[in-house]
Amino acid sequence: MKEIILGSIMGTAVGDSLGLLYEGLSSKRQRKLYKNINSQKFFMGKGFISDDTEHTLMVAHALYHSSGDEEIFSRYLARSLRKWIISMPLGIGFASLRACIKLLVGFPPEKSGVFSAGNGPAMRSALIGIICGNDIQKMKSLVRISTRITHTDPKAEIGALTVAYAAFIAGTKKEVAPSSFYEGLKSLLIGYESLEFLKIVEEVVDSVYNNESTREYVERLGLKNGVSGYIYHTVPVVIHAWLSYKGNFRKSIIEMIECGGDTDTTAAILGGILGASATVAGIPEELQENIYLFPYSKKYIENISHALAYKNKRTSEIQVKEPFWGLSLIRNLIFIPVIAFHVIRRMLPPY
Residue numbers belonging to the annotated binding site for Mg(2+): 50-52, 262, 264-265
Of the CA atoms within 13 Å of residue 346, those in its CB half-sphere come to: 14
What residues form DSSP beta bridges with 291?
47
Question: Strand, coil or helix: what is 261?
Answer: strand
Of the CA atoms within 13 Å of residue 154, those in its CB half-sphere come to: 8
Contact call for residues 241 and 214 (beta carbons, < 8 A): yes
Contact call for residues 232 and 16 (beta carbons, < 8 A): no
Q: Annotate 57-87 with b (16+ C-beta within 10 A) or e (fewer).
A: bbbbbbbbbbeeeeeebbbbbbbbbbbbbeb
Q: Which residues are annotated as a binding site?
A: 50-52, 262, 264-265
- How far out from the chain centre does Cα 294 lie? 18
For residue 76, give the amino acid letter. Answer: Y
How far is 300 from 296, CA to CA, in rounded Å?
A: 6
Backbone angles phi, psi at 218, to 5 degrees: -60, -45
Contact call for residues 169 and 181 (beta carbons, < 8 A): yes
